[in-house]
Amino acid sequence: MIENEGIVIKSIDYGDSNKIITLFTISGLKSLNVRGAQKPSSHTFNFAKEFILLKYEDRGKYLIGGKVENYYTNIINNIDLTKSALRIFELINALVEHINNNEIAYEFLKQCLDLINNNADHKLIELIFRIKFLYLIGLAPNFNSCVNCGSKEELAYFSLFDGGMKCNNCKNIMDYHLTKEELDLFRILYLVKLDKLIENIDQIKYNYDDLNKVLNMFYSHFLGFESNVEKIYKKINN
């Protein structure tokens, strides 16, 4: 019986013919040695592809049975969709030890990949993932009141150092200015459940570059995380 399930987020050659795959599962990351997976003629070849949803059976460090549940074909055939998926994968890969509930994180990842693969706005799904992932790793920015004085009025500045919003009176020269629209959007994307967001996805107005910038700063400041995917894609585009 093949009962385990995971998403292959990394696959590397091992020796002359095997591959080591890294799966994200409801129990976190799992590495497995897939015999013969480098050979296209091998029945295990497909099990070691990145970006697949795999049902598997394992014994020790080895994969002994598998069935591909989803190849996410649209994602792998479109460079922009791939980028969004890669940005999601690299977060999981880098920050997996911070995740406080792998089961929720896994279901959330699957939901997001399905949406991207089924032509939902991939940039928005990526942003939603990156914002909600903050919650899954226990970083909860305070968007509702000034982190300094508790005021709920005139919140227009985001303080990376204090991990939340600041009001007009308490703002510091280092704090990042958010427009009212940006703040509202952050709140919505952070707080509203994914299903509800999807129902109203056409009404969500956003600017990818602005949100991307704030999120990059946040991840970099609190977790020392910098996106390699972004760097690589910038090089490709230049």
Q: Which residues of the chain form contacts with Zn ion (CB under 5 A)?
A: 146, 148-149, 151, 167, 170
Smallest distance from Zn ion to CB 164, Å: 10
Closest to Zn ion by CB, 45 or 176: 176
Smallest distance from Zn ion to CB 163, Å: 14
- The strand ranges marked E within 109-163 are 155-159
- The strand ranges marked E within the chain are 4-14, 18-25, 28-34, 53-59, 62-70, 155-159, 164-167, 176-177
Q: Are the C-beta atoms of 136 and 100 separated by less than 8 Å? A: yes
The two three-digit tokens of residue 20, written as one number: 């080591």
Angle between helices 102-117 and 79-95 (to 10 degrees): 170
Smallest distance from Zn ion to CB 173, Å: 15
Smallest distance from Zn ion to CB 161, Å: 14
Closest to Zn ion by CB, 28 or 163: 163
Closest to Zn ion by CB, 131 or 167: 167
Smallest distance from Zn ion to CB 168, Å: 8
Pairing of strands 155-159, 176-177: antiparallel
Closest to Zn ion by CB, 13 or 153: 153
Main-chain dihedrals φ then ψ at residue 13, nearest 5 degrees: -65, 145
Closest to Zn ion by CB, 119 or 168: 168
**Cα(90)–Cα(23) distance, rounded to whole angstroms?**
13
Closest to Zn ion by CB, 81 or 170: 170
Q: Are the C-beta atoms of 29 and 90 separated by less than 8 Å? A: no
Smallest distance from Zn ion to CB 151, Å: 5
Burial of 155 from C-beta contacts in 10 A (0-12 / 13-18 / 19+): buried
